Amino acid sequence: MNCLQAENHFSAHLEDEIDYRTLKSFEAHIEQCERCQREYVLFAQTLTEVEELPHVEPSPNFTTTLHERLADEPRITVPFWKRLVYGFTLPRWAYGALVLVFASSVTYVVYQRELVDSNRERVVTLEQTAQPPEATRTRGTALPSGFAGTGISSQPMQHYVLKQVSYTGVPTQGGL
Amino acid sequence: MPELDDELMERFQKGDEGAFTLLVRRHERPLINFIAQFIGDRDSAEDLAQETFIRIFQAAPRYKRGRAQFNTWMYHIASNLCKNELRNRSRRERHWVDNTVKDDDAEDASAGVESRIANAPADASYQPDVVLERKELRDALRKAVAALPEQYREPLVLRDIQGLSYEEISKVLDIRIGTTKSRINRARLILKDKLKPFMEKL
């Protein structure tokens, strides 16, 4: 450590805010440098003098004058909602927790609603596929004789959305 | 147990003006001292301190507990007002103050030197030449502080005269703690060099 570097650590040394390695290096330099020893003592004395500077006191009419000036200032009325917001003071983590709870609640509600909707769709579809074939056949128009015994009814297509049909065994007679 | 500044501000926000008066009483002395040391002018210091309290009065509804300490907030407002004042002064003209921050002790010292000599006790600090030398030193110190560049003077006053911590100062000035420490060390080194002739006499 040289003299310039040592000067930069005067405050830290005086206020005991110096790390161990720097302290050792600083003390090693101070021990062998008379100039820095003198400067360090002067530095400490200066600091004491600054700290002991007499304080400037307020004049006796300071508060009175201030109150007169404040009387001219419009009294700020805080709206109720603002007072509510400013009055509602919580630590930061509590605000975070509140946001988290709110977000989880919204997610839960949305998820539940979607679950109910999808269950309802499934129930409707299952009900439709579970209808007895006789009933559907009676409502539809009669099929040509070639479709008899294939399991295909004359019901409109939308009723058979989920039904798998195999055409491999159906005699098409050159059609299709 | 005295109420915290934050609690007083909350009471004031709810309409209790007595709480604001308590805050003024609590902080008027350190605030005036800070401003006087920073701008080097006692009369303007009182005006600026009043202006600071008026700003606090006006901004009170926006004050939020926990966001900043009342202390650092107050010094931050005062610091900005002081910087504006110094800027305006240098714009008007170099109307610097020599006659301004009066050292009450020093005045008493020169006025009371004779009476002290008359009652001279054994204590060496009461010797007239020592008293005068101390007065000289104190005057020189005040001038040296006032002559410091603004960026060094402000943290030095906050630390060594007002007794704020490095963390508080870095918040007031909105600079990093490392910068605060190095500026304060630099300010002390400048003062040490300027006071060396006086110190060596003592």
Measured between beta carbons, the chain B residues lying within 8 angstroms of A67 are 21
pLDDT at B137: 84
Q: Could you tell me the pLDDT band of residue A174, with boundaries at 50, 70 and 90?
A: low
Question: ∠ CA B161-B162-B167 to the nearest 5 degrees?
Answer: 120
Contact residues of A toward B, CB < 8 A: 7-8, 10-12, 17, 39, 42-43, 45-47, 49-51, 53-59, 62-63, 65-67, 69-70, 73, 76, 78, 82-83, 86-87, 89, 91-92
**Is the separation of the CB atoms in B35 and B48 below 8 Å?**
yes
Query: Is B76 found in the same domain as B125?
Result: no
Q: How far apart are CA A151 and CA A157, in angstroms?
A: 14
pLDDT top residue among A1 and B51: B51
Which CATH number covers residue B17? 1.10.1740.10
Q: Check residue A159 and report its DSSP letter.
A: G
The whole-number pLDDT of residue B101 equals 54
In this structure, is residue B192 part of a structural domain? yes
Q: What is the DSSP string of A94-152?
A: HHHHHHHHHHHHHHHHHHHHHHHHHHHHHHHHHHHHTS-HHHHHHHSPPPPGGGTTSS-
Residue B114 has a pLDDT of 47
Per-residue pLDDT tens digits for A26-49: 999 999 999 999 999 999 999 998
- In the predicted structure, residue B125 carries a pLDDT above the cut 90: no
- Closest partner CB to A11 (pick from B60, B188, B195): B188
| Euclidean distance between CA atoms B48 and B77, whole angstroms | 10
Q: Per residue in A76-96, pLDDT tens?
A: 565 566 655 655 556 678 888
Helix, strand, coil percentages for chain B (3-state, nearest 5):
80, 0, 20
Structural domain that includes position B166: 104-201
**CA gap B104, B36 in Å, rounded:** 13
Q: Which residue has the tokens 């966001």?
A: B67
> How many folded domains does chain B comprise?
2
Question: What would the mean pLDDT of A54-65 be, rounded to a whole number?
Answer: 86
End-of-domain residue from the set B44, B69, B92: B92
Assign A176 a pLDDT band (cuts: 50, 70, 90): low
Nearest residue in chain B measured CA to CA from A17: B181
Q: Note whether A43 contacts B189, CB cutoff 8 Å.
A: yes
**What are the sequence ranges of the domains in chain A?**
3-51, 92-129
Q: For residue B99, is it within any domain?
A: no
Asked if B43 and B116 sit in the same domain, the reply is no
Domain-located, residue B195: yes
One domain for residues B88 and B9: yes
Poorest-pLDDT segment among A80-94, B11-25, B94-108, B183-197: B94-108
Q: What is the pLDDT of residue B103?
A: 52
B48/B84 same-domain check = yes
Q: Quick: pLDDT tens for B160-182.
A: 999 999 999 999 999 999 999 99
Distance from CA of A16 to the nearest CA of B (A): 13
Q: What value does the mean pLDDT take over residues B120-145? A: 73
In a domain, B97, yes or no: no
Same domain for B86 and B12: yes
Mean pLDDT of chain B: 80
The model's pLDDT over A127-173, given as tens digits with 9 standing for 90+, comes to 777 665 554 444 555 566 666 666 665 555 555 555 565 666 666 66
Contacts of B160 in chain A (CB under 8 A): 47, 50-51
Judged by CB atoms within 8 Å, which residues 145-174 of B form the interface with A?
Answer: 145, 156, 160-161
Q: How far apart are the first and last CA of chain A?
A: 99
Q: What is the ipTM of this complex?
A: 0.76
Residues in B closer than 8 angstroms to A86, CB to CB, are: 13, 61-64
pLDDT for res B19: 86
pLDDT band for B44, please (50, 70, 90 cuts): confident
